[in-house]
Amino acid sequence: MTRSDRSATSQPVDPVPGPGIVPAFTNPRTGRPALRTVSVVGLGSYVPPQILTNADLARMVDTSDDWITSRTGIRERRLASPNEATSDLACEAARRALSSAGLRPQDVDLIIVATITPDMPFPSTACLVQEKLGANRAAAFDVQAACSGYVYALDIASHFISSHTYETVLIIGAEKMSAFIDWTDRNTCVLFGDGAGAAVLQHRPHSHGLITTCLGANGGDARLLELPAGGSARPASPDTLSQRLHFLRMDGKETFRKAVTAMVSAGQEALARAHLTIADIRCIIPHQANHRIMSAVAERLGATPEQVFTNVERYGNTSAASVGIGLDEAVREGRIQTGDYVLLVVFGAGLTWGSALIHW
């Protein structure tokens, strides 16, 4: 049964609050706890203005526009300025999402930031965002699921809302990948960019919403994509610095293979749970890593190129921000209309993967 199926037949009854007692929202028909639908009520995204083109990169490392474009589809990416941290990118996307929802920062009950490029190991980037936004009522924490982070955050947020714990949750996927890229390594530096995508989630009676989310992980392949040092296993030292272990490392070929398999099966699982076929989906927003990965995923899902939203040519791989930026742009471009079904499919370090199916 899907999340919206479960709530479609259930209306919460008035709680009976008392000291220390959790309000009991019960479906009067089944006697079971009533879950609520969860709707996206606002979207926003932000990419910094500075553009780094493939031609710029060809002056920095031994590469070419032709190689990057043909292997990845990326033509340019955005770079945050030195005094702009991940929390700043996140705040700008969040302000836009709140404004599109017609809400104020003080209306937010919970902020979840998905990032692998936090401002610092602690406090969480979500707490820094809470302060910068002035969302002083909100609880705040980070989620770390690399490029899958936005869908992980969406899944977590939906449970808080459907269970009546919170009314308004702000999720943000935000990354300053440029701070963790080895700009002398042509294998990785051409792939990534900076940016942020945000969504405001609420229960809106009689509205469409999230149908299902599927999450997966395989820590057995953790070494395929990692930032080896700077944590408790290998604390920063002159040795880790000289070995350049504070930058992202990746086995690109193997990551590519695993990404296609995992994204396809996550997409298929979401469709099966919702009793939908790929033809029912108006817009598929895959994690924007590489046009060849997206084409392979679309082909194996049986989707047409017209169903697939891409912006990788302009932003590169923005990790946890990727599908958040894509969703915001797809809605603003009119690619998604009320009543459409939207499928997000993601994959990232961990390894992690996931999908989310939304009835818009």
Choose, from 164, 287, 291, 359, the residue flagged as catalytic.
287
Among the listed residues 41, 111, 147, 285, the single contact to ligand ACO using CB under 6 A: 147
Q: Does 318 bind ligand ACO (CB under 6 A)?
A: no
Of the pair 324, 348, the CB lying nearest ligand ACO is at: 348
Of the pair 132, 249, the CB lying nearest ligand ACO is at: 249
d(CA 357, CA 213): 6
**287 labelled catalytic:** yes
Q: Does 252 bind ligand ACO (CB under 6 A)?
A: yes
Residue 254 beta carbon to ligand ACO: minimum distance, rounded to whole angstroms: 8
Nearest to 192 by CA among 305, 328, 349: 349
Q: Does 216 bind ligand ACO (CB under 6 A)?
A: no
d(CA 47, CA 197): 9
Residue 146 beta carbon to ligand ACO: minimum distance, rounded to whole angstroms: 4
Residue 64 beta carbon to ligand ACO: minimum distance, rounded to whole angstroms: 6
Q: How far is CA 155 from the centre of its chain?
A: 10
Residue-by-residue DSSP string for 112-172: EEE-SS-SSSSS-HHHHHHHHHT-TT-EEEEE--GGGHHHHHHHHHHHHHHTTS-SEEEEE
Residues 278-307: x where in contact with ligand ACO by CB under 6 A, - otherwise, as a string: -----------xx--x--------------
Q: Does 146 bind ligand ACO (CB under 6 A)?
A: yes
**351 prior amide bond cis, ω within 30:** yes
**317 labelled catalytic:** yes
Tell me how crowded residue 24 is: count the other CB atoms within 10 A of its CB. 14
Tell me how many residues contact ligand ACO (CB under 6 A). Answer: 25
Q: What are phi and psi of 236, to 5 degrees?
A: -60, 135
Q: Interhelix angle for 291-301 vs 65-72, to 10°? A: 20
Tokens at residue 179, please? 């701070």
Q: Does 187 bind ligand ACO (CB under 6 A)?
A: yes
Question: Which positions are catalytic?
Answer: 147, 287, 317
What are the residues binding ligand ACO (CB under 6 A)?
A: 63, 67-68, 71-72, 146-147, 186-187, 190, 225, 250, 252-253, 255-256, 259, 289-290, 293, 317, 319, 347-349
